[in-house]
Chain A
Amino acid sequence: MKVLVCISSVPDTTTKINFTPDNKSFVTQGVQFIINPYDEIALTRALELTEKDGGTVTVINVGDATTEPVIRKALAVGATDAVRVNAGPRDAFFVARQIAGYASNQNFDLILCGRESIDYNGAQVPAMIAELLGIPSVSVCKKLEIAGKTAIAEREIEGGKEIVECPLPMVVSASEGMAEPRIPNMRGIMSARTKPLAVVEPVDTPKNIEVIIYDKPKPRSEVKLIAPDKVEELVDLLHTQARVI
């Protein structure tokens, strides 16, 4: 089985987010980047499936050269080879176009993505890739099994779960539970040094979306502590200042 896994490079979850003075772009200086955690789940499942039944796992990333450490980690974890589309991931359609463009003549049996990236949280790329390639997609899956040329995927729905069957090739987006991400071991890190990482140029894509501004949530206001025996003061403040009673 030939699997393509789409990986994004995203800021580490503990990053303090700052924007440029014009509030139009994210300040990346001093930020540690990681593989998008949902993509890591997808990658791990791809490795499990190919280890069981044989096959290859290619990882693809749309990004400039600064994302290569994240790609190397994916190779260290066990991916066979990697492709980097040499362009900033401008918006979801742009990214989906690049991935679909690459995948269109590669005969992948399965394209696995994370359910969404944890930075911009658009959750659009997987379905867009499928649409552009004219193949089915199932999103936000918690389980994925492959039997021959058919995938069985499990999705969580309100009050229960949904199990779907779908012929390959297809796109699946992964959620928590599909696999437990692996830590690269030393052998993997050493072998990642020599695994192929191809750099391809992007295909032209119309720009439909323009970011007007980013804004951070207002900082939380200070907490006012009131002594336990001052119930009247609390009631008074809730009434006169918070105006909730």
Chain B
Amino acid sequence: MAKTDLFQSPDYYQIDELLTDEHKLVRNSVREWVKREVSPIIEEYAQRAEFPKHLIKGLAEIGAFGPYIPQEYGGGGLDQISYGLIMQEIERGDSGIRSTASVQSSLVMYPIYTYGSDEQRKKYLPKLATGEWMGCFGLTEPNFGSNPGGMLTNIKDKGDHVVLNGSKMWISNAPFADIAVVWAKDEEGVIRGLIVERGMKGFSTPETHGKWSLRASATGELVFDNVKVPKENILPNVKGLKGPLGCLNSARYGIAWGAIGAAMDCYDTALRYSKERIQFGKPIGAFQLQQKKLAEMITEITKAQLLAWRLGVLKNENRATPQQISMAKRNNVNMALEITRDARQMLGGMGITGEYPIMRHMMNLESVITYEGTHDIHLLITGMDVTGLNAFGG
């Protein structure tokens, strides 16, 4: 049975006053859309491990696909804080749906806009913005996750086209994507970006089954077996690892906001439950141990909101460093995961059921804390930034 979404957003430090009227209109519209379209169905899709494909049109309409891409290419022309707020609200619904939006915006539209030719921008971006075409992003390989520079996927120059071989793993949207932005090494070992289209001979996207996380999102592999890719599909304006890393910066920034949404949903659920659930003759919210959990949750959410907002201001001014983005992604996702665990305990047995969103968020965040740079890798990025010393392997 469809449930009514009673979510009320916490704003302990009046952070709304830091937002413009347009930011709030964007956020409130997405929040309303999530309440109407996502909350009533998401549990069922997650239980069935199925991506609710019918949401794509609505996601496009609310501006989840390329909100910061200029309007002339079909994007929203919004700023980075609006982008962050959209991600926050969608992830308040479900991290898997937010992942679909993140991939489309930051890992597909962003590289085509930033590294693509004008022909590529005009060909792909408007259709990606409307959701008519969906995209995915191929960087991670079975043996190269935290160390993407070691990738084996490669292209060989054959005159007017290149031949692509290799495979990519853990690719969100892969099973239904119309195009894939794929990173591969050329014959000199330089990483290049290519747009691979569904239907190209030798390109397949087997689905990954049996996930306990992001169950309402479709994940798969990208397999390239002598795929002929025309040279006009190569992104002309970037070479090397900085190409995919630029995309990840944009996506990680969105995740730093998104995680706040998942945390807010768990906090709000636990807070309401703590006032309604009676034990020993009083609401459990009246007990110190439960108050400690709630007080720490709202403290951490407030800190994360301020971190994300400040990062958004820096990003709007093109001043956010990748290291600053790493810090926010790492802190906020971990914060959200801790909150899901405390909230789950507060709900006791009810916390493990699909009646409440907490366990779903918790399982989702286990992916979020791993993808787009693991929790540990982001720590090393901060460590290297403050010491100047490289603690990565190799």
Contacts and interface: CB of A to CB of B under 8 A. Distances in A.
A211 interface: no
Contacts of A142: none
Interface of B is mostly: helix
Interface in A30-76: 30, 32, 68-69, 72-73, 76
- Residue from A183, A189, A192 having most chain B Cβ neighbours under 10 A: A183
Name the prevailing secondary structure of the A interface residues.
helix
A189 B29 CA distance: 9
Contacts of B33: 183
Interface string B55-98: 00000011100010001000011100000000000000000000
B24 A69 contact: yes
B29 A183 contact: yes
B318 interface: no
Contacts of B41: none
A184 B29 contact: yes
A72 B26 CA distance: 11
B8 interface: yes
B25 interface: yes
Contacts of A76: 25, 29
Sorting the interface of chain B by its residue count into under 10, 10 to 19, 20 to 34 or 35 or more gives: 20 to 34
B29 A185 contact: yes
B284 to A, nearest CB: 15
B4 interface: no
Interface string A173-192: 00000000001111101101
B36 A30 contact: no
Interface residues of A, number: 18
B281 A225 contact: yes
A148 B252 CA distance: 55
A30 B24 contact: no
Given A68-B21, A69-B24, A186-B61, 14 more contacts: A14-B8, A69-B25, A76-B25, A76-B29, A183-B29, A183-B62, A185-B61, A186-B26, A186-B63, A186-B67, A186-B76, A186-B78, A189-B63, A190-B77
Interface of B: 8, 14, 16, 21-22, 24-26, 28-29, 32-33, 36, 61-63, 67, 71, 76-78, 281
